[in-house]
């Protein structure tokens, strides 16, 4: 079942004098996020991720198209109550403490008394802010504020978590904590949809990905299928390579490199791998290593979203 379903969703911002500058931030995108999965939302700066997430949360209205959460057409108060949201740059009132922030969110979602205390302690602990729970927000670092805001999103134990760059501003330990929180949430059957620029986090966490470019979906689906494609290159390492073998590989255009007693070369295609290995073994060389390389998420990202994209701003149509 799809927990989030987006159909031809579009958002056009109008800004500037007489609202003449038109920004097509999201251009009629469609995708779905399945229940119980971790889905990554990727795309270069300005590709429309935050705009899309804000439309899902009902913070801005779409220009056209439709979105559904838990099968309810948005905007829906009922659906919104089942979602925990971490905004891109969480604003926390400077004199509020993390505990007050989390309690306030808990109360807003109907928690009271001992249950509120228990859940507050639990999320402050799991996000690593318990020891700073009584400090005012204005004295906290960016990373601590990010953790406190994540705690606030988790306190109601929402079925769906929508996180806009949850790892931003966090040190490596903080990033690992957030990864662990996301995995712990998934193991409890929750669904997580989060935007990020950190591709290695997506590779280690996500079941599915949606990649945006200039307000359009350029790739979406199972991460494993996206990356499970053909071997794009094989690195071969040989030892005991004679000068004659080296020269032969070189003249065959295999570009061997000799370093510290080993010779390495990269080849494309199964046939080329077999040819090199046969020739090397026949010449008495030793095969130290044969490493096939498949496309990484970075390769996919650069291919689909990385090329210089047209700015989404359209010229104003009215004369000055």
Interacting residues toward ligand ATP by CB under 6 A = 13, 15, 23, 25, 43, 45-51, 88, 312
13 binds, among Mg ion, ligand ATP, none (CB under 5 to 8 A by kind): ligand ATP
Structure tokens at 23: 């920004």
- Report how far residue 69's alpha carbon sits from residue 77's, in angstroms, rounded to the nearest whole number: 11
From 5, 26, 27, 50, residue interacting with Mg ion (rule: CB under 5 A):
50
Choose between 42 and 145: whose C-beta lies nearer to Mg ion.
Answer: 42
Burial class of 318 by CB neighbour count within 10 A (0 to 12, 13 to 18, 19+): exposed
3-state secondary structure of 145: helix
Choose between 23 and 280: whose C-beta lies nearer to ligand ATP.
Answer: 23
CB of 15 to ligand ATP, least distance (A): 5
DSSP percent split of the chain into helix, strand, coil, nearest 5? 35, 30, 30
Choose between 120 and 195: whose C-beta lies nearer to ligand ATP.
Answer: 195
Beta bridge partners of 288: none
Q: Are 276 and 289 in contact (CB under 8 A)?
A: no
Given the rule CB under 5 A, which of 32-40, 82-90, 107-115, 149-157 is the region that contacts Mg ion?
82-90
CB of 29 to ligand ATP, least distance (A): 11
Q: Are 235 and 262 in contact (CB under 8 A)?
A: no
- Report how far residue 12's alpha carbon sits from residue 22's, in angstroms, rounded to the nearest whole number: 7
Given the rule CB under 5 A, which of 86-94, 127-135, 205-213, 224-232 is the region that contacts Mg ion?
86-94
- Report how far residue 189's alpha carbon sits from residue 22's, in angstroms, rounded to the nearest whole number: 41
CB of 199 to ligand ATP, least distance (A): 13
Choose between 50 and 191: whose C-beta lies nearer to Mg ion.
Answer: 50
CB of 4 to ligand ATP, least distance (A): 17
Residues that bind Mg ion (CB under 5 A): 49-50, 88
């Amino acid at each position: 079942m799809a927990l989030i379903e987006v159909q031809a969703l579009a958002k056009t911002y109008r800004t500037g004098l007489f609202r003449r500058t038109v920004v097509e931030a999201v251009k009629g995108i469609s995708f779905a996020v399945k229940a119980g999965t971790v889905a990554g939302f990727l795309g270069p700066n300005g590709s429309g991720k935050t705009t899309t997430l804000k439309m899902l949360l009902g913070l801005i209205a779409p220009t056209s198209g439709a979105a559904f959460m838990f099968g309810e057409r948005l905007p829906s108060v009922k659906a919104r109550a089942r979602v925990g949201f971490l905004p891109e740059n969480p604003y926390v009132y400077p004199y509020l403490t993390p505990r007050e922030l989390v309690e306030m969110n808990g109360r807003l979602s109907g928690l009271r008394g001992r249950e509120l205390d228990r859940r507050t302690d639990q999320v402050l602990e799991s996000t690593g802010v318990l020891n700073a729970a009584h400090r005012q927000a204005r004295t906290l670092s960016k990373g601590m504020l990010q953790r406190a805001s994540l705690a606030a999103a988790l306190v109601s134990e929402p079925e769906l978590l929508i996180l806009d760059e949850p790892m931003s501003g966090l040190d490596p330990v903080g990033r690992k904590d957030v990864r662990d929180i996301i995995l712990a949430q998934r193991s409890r059957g929750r669904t997580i949809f989060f935007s990020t620029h950190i591709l290695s986090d997506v590779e280690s966490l996500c079941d599915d990905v949606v990649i945006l470019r200039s307000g359009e979906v350029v790739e979406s689906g199972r991460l494993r299928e996206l990356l499970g494609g053909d071997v794009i290159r094989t690195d071969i390492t040989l030892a005991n390579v004679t000068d004659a073998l080296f020269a032969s590989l070189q003249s065959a255009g295999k570009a061997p490199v000799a370093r510290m007693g080993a010779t390495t070369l990269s080849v494309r295609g199964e046939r080329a791998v077999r040819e090199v290995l046969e020739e090397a073994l026949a010449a008495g060389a030793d095969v130290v290593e044969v490493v096939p390389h498949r496309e990484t998420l970075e390769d996919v990202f650069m291919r689909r979203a990385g090329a210089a994209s047209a700015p989404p701003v359209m010229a104003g149509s009215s004369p000055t």
